[in-house]
A = this chain, B = another copy of it.
Amino acid sequence: MFAVEVQDHIMIAHSFPSEVFGPAQGLHGATFTVNLAFFASDIDKHGMVVDIGLATKVLSEVLEPLRYKNLDELEQFKGKFTTTEFLCRYIFDQVLIELKQGKLADDSRVEKLTGQLAGELHGQGMV
């Protein structure tokens, strides 16, 4: 199995309006690093799993609506706790939508995809 990984990051504000989140309930912010890995069981004739330029572009476009934003004000997150886990799945799902539209070109060999959103030790979610 081969894997190719791209990375980007976002700087967002959000709040967690529930006692469960203790000191992180109020409006604060975070820098999140986003890793996206593409898997294939073989490489193509150019020795590649995926065109890394296109892969980087797909991730960047998916993150564009979140960059420098207050997530509490975005329509798609109304009534949600935008924890690291939640955002990881949201971004992952958005990437899948892009891929289904053929954004990685017709001959992509990608068979599996994993995402990782790295935040902070005392934040919620994956470090």
Contacts and interface: CB of A to CB of B under 8 A. Distances in A.
Which of A6, A27, A123 counts the most B-chain CB atoms under 10 A from its CB? A27
A23 B67 contact: yes
Given A69-B26, A88-B2, A125-B52, A119 B31 contact: yes
A9 interface: yes
A126 B124 CA distance: 26
A27 B11 CA distance: 10
List the number of copies, as a whole number.
6
Contacts of A99: none
Given A28-B69, A29-B13, A86-B43, A121 B6 contact: yes
Report the 8 A-B pairs with minimum CB-CB distance, sorted nearest first.
A29-B29, A13-B13, A47-B83, A13-B29, A47-B86, A47-B81, A28-B68, A31-B31
Contacts of A125: 4, 48-49, 52
B2 A43 contact: no
Contacts of A12: 28-29
Contact of A46 (B14, B49, B83, B122): B83
